[in-house]
Amino acid sequence: MPLFAQQALWGAPEMVSPEIHPDQSVTFRLMAPDAREVKLSGDWMPSAGWVPGSEVLTKDEKGVWSHTTAPLGSDLYSYWFTVDGVRCTDPANVYLIRDVASVFNVFITGGGKGDLYKVSAVPHGTVTRRWYPSPGNQMNRRMTIYTPPGYESSKKKFPVLYLLHGMGGDEEAWIALGRTAQILDNLIAAGKARPMIVVMTNGNVAQEAAPGESSLGMAKPTMQLPHTMDGKFEETFPDVIRFIESNYRVIPKKEGRAIAGLSMGGYHSLHISRYYPNTFDYVGLFSAAIIPNEKATSKVYADLDKTLEAQMKNGVKLYWIAIGKTDFLYKNNVEFREKLDKMGMKYTYFETEGGHTWTNWRVYLTEFAQQIFK
């Protein structure tokens, strides 16, 4: 007896969208016979400010709108439709990712870096969501933890990468948008990265957990929350380390700890690593939001130069700074590197095309993970 998709049981035609062709061009389709205009927007398109550009789809005699791109490079891409001015996702594509309060469809083109973002036929790590006590924030909070393949059956101790998200993100951001588990599985299998635990925290200390995962219920995600970049997250970060080192087999020493983050998470990584200057041997700043916050009066931000010098004297095996050429934070990162140069603090600089995007941050994680705990 033949099996049919549920949609086919309702009598609706099966739509293929997106369809990735052998030359890596991609066709998108949407059934909308009554629509006057359908547009496609995707993160591979040249942007107009913060928003990607768009392409108008063509309608056929059956009411199907379609557009085929030029060949795309290997990557993970996000996109959406706009139908008569109303934004919507692709009903033919079940693969969706939330970024703050927006939802996108996604697809992957292979043959290059996109292969790192796929689930491959290699040993897999385990991803768990753990609740931990945070006395500094007077609540229990949630984090996402990746343990490498073989962790459960091993008796070895593993190094830990603390991986921090950007403003508006949460403990789901790196595992979903960043493809952390897939990247680490594939790098470890290829012998390019050392097996490690990756701890992905929620950098919004006003939250217990990601939207929909806490006692607040299905609250709407937002970019700006209380205590955003005011020092509270940095002050209470030892709560995270204590929980991990009490509940996982880790190397509880400086050489067994790395910290990295994107945008706001890069800001947090910079300040956590210098405020606790003998804690991390590896620091990664991905498009770091190195922006002075005049309203922040936390002791964490006092004596920047003095604490950076203390961090330098204690020794850091890798201080890694990465940013895209068109990132709006580029100038701030140039100025920070000039400060480090003047101090004589050594760092590794990695510059890419593009701006403040997950396309870059996945690359930065891939590069950084291969250089730590060596």
Amino acid at 269: S
User: Do 212 and 353 sit in the same domain of this protein?
Assistant: yes
Is residue 53 domain-shared with residue 179, that is, in the same domain?
Answer: no
Q: Reply yes or no on whether the pLDDT at 256 is more than 60.
A: yes
Q: What letters, b where the CB count within 10 A reaches 16 and e where it falls short, cover 182-192?
A: bbbbbbbeeee
**Max Cα distance, the chain (Å):** 74
Does 161 reside within a domain? Answer: yes
The CATH number of the domain holding residue 321 is 3.40.50.1820
Is the pLDDT assigned to residue 372 strictly greater than 70? yes
The verdict on 230 and 342 lying in the same domain is: yes
Last residue of a domain, one of 91, 110, 129: 110
Which residue has tokens 């730590």? 372
148-206 tens-digit pLDDT: 999 999 999 999 999 999 998 999 999 999 999 999 999 999 999 999 999 999 999 88
- 3-class DSSP state of 237: helix
| Residue of 139, 127, 110 lying closest to 172 (CA atoms) | 127
Q: Is residue 271 part of a domain?
A: yes
Which residue, 44, 64, 205, is CA-closest to 55? Answer: 44
- pLDDT number for residue 99: 87
Instruction: Tell whether the torsion through CA atoms of 14, 15, 17 and 20 is positive or negative.
Output: positive
The answer on 238 and 184 residing in a single domain is yes
pLDDT attached to residue 214: 75
Average pLDDT over residues 132-139: 93
Identify the pLDDT of residue 102: 87
**Type of residue at 41:** S
Domain boundary among 62, 80, 110: 110
User: Phi/psi zone of residue 98: left (φ > 0), alpha (ψ -120 to 50 degrees), beta?
Assistant: beta
Q: Flag whether pLDDT at 3 surpasses 60.
A: no
CB 89 within 8 A of CB 81: yes
Q: Give the percent of the chain with pLDDT over 90.
A: 81
Q: Which domain holds residue 82?
A: 6-110
**Helical (H) or strand (E) element with 174:** helix 173-176
Total domains present in the chain = 2
List, for residues 71-123, the tens digit of each pLDDT value: 999 999 999 999 999 999 999 999 999 888 789 999 999 999 999 999 999 99
Looking at the structure, tell me whether residues 70 and 21 fall in a common domain. Answer: yes
Specify whether 65 is located in the same domain as 122.
no
Check residue 223 and give its pLDDT: 67
Per-residue pLDDT tens digits for 328-358: 999 999 999 999 999 999 999 999 999 999 9
Give residue-wise pLDDT tens across range 260-315. 999 999 999 999 999 998 999 999 999 999 986 666 778 999 889 999 999 999 99
Q: Is the pLDDT of residue 326 over 60?
A: yes
What per-residue confidence (pLDDT) applies to 216?
Answer: 78
134 and 259 share a domain? yes
Same domain, 103 and 165: no
Task: Calculate the average pLDDT of the chain.
Answer: 92
Asked whether the beta carbons of 295 and 190 are under 8 A apart, the reply is no
- Is 145 among the domain residues? yes
User: Do 127 and 230 fall within a single domain?
Assistant: yes
Whether residue 1 is contained in a domain is answered as no
Residue 249 forms part of a structural domain: yes
Strands 47-48 and 51-52: antiparallel
Q: Indicate the pairing of strand 160-164 with strand 257-262.
A: parallel
The last residue of one of the domains, among 95, 110, 125, is 110
Domain of 88, CATH number, reads 2.60.40.10
Mean pLDDT of 60-64: 95
